[in-house]
Amino acid sequence: MKKEPPKSDITVCIVDDDRELSAGLEYIINSAKGLTAVGVFHSYLETLDGLENMNDRLPDVILMDIGMKGKDGIACVREVKRLYPSIHVIMQTIFTSDDKIFDSLRAGAVGYILKNTTKEKLIEAIKEAHEGGAPMTGSIAKRVLTHFQSPTQPSLIEHLSEREREVLQLLVKGHSYKIIAETLFISTFTVRHHLHNIYQKLHVTSRGEAVAKVQHEFPRTSS
């Protein structure tokens, strides 16, 4: 029987059909100070059944794979957020396509990181998500920035502010929230606030929605 995690710990569930990788993630999480893995699931149905049986203490954060057999991780995060809106879901995947990124965020994920993310950055991402942040791998931040800049993409009903562009550009370079805050002379809380706004803007964008909205082309930023 598993020991009850300390109340101060951030509790994490892992959803991935790769059992070897899942075991590795569980070890990393349980080895990190202040984190405890409280469940490992390998499919959509197993995840929903597992969470239903954990209603005494739901996980704070879920690490969600996308490419699972049956219903994928995007369908899973959508259902998890419908049933348990307080859980923060981070997509952790090999996929870097725009469709996968934006579909995941629109489904309710608060972050998107790649499976080759270092152990340190993975732990940092979990803590950021739990604190209300929006963890994003640098290469994913670059795609998000490109999405907002490209005239071939649908324009957004709300545009990124200059500060939001600066935050994204620093994320692209791989900087942590702390370094971004110091560079821009703002607090880490403000960095999280800007990223939250960026995600909210992504949540309402899709190729189909663009046709029905009155929009302006997003101006390119100088490189």
The tokens 């070897």 sit on which residue?
20
For residue 140, the one-letter residue type is I
Supply the pTM of this predicted model: 0.73
Read off the pLDDT of residues 5-59 as tens digits, 9 standing for 90 and up: 777 899 999 999 999 999 999 999 999 999 999 999 999 999 999 999 986 789 9
Strands 10-15 and 35-41: parallel
Neighbours of 175 (CB within 10 A): 18
Q: What does the pLDDT read at residue 212? A: 34
Give the pLDDT band of residue 219 (cuts 50, 70, 90): very low
Q: What does the pLDDT read at residue 65? A: 92
> Pick the residue with more confidence: 221 or 137?
137
Question: Given strand 10-15, what is the order of strands in its sheet?
Answer: 35-41, 10-15, 61-64, 88-93, 111-114
| In the chain, % of residues over pLDDT 90 | 38
**Domains with residue ranges and CATH for the chain:** 1-135 (3.40.50.2300), 136-223 (1.10.10.10)
What is the helix (H) or strand (E) element at residue 81, kind and residue range? helix 73-83
Give the pLDDT band of residue 218 (cuts 50, 70, 90): very low
Q: What does the pLDDT read at residue 108? A: 87
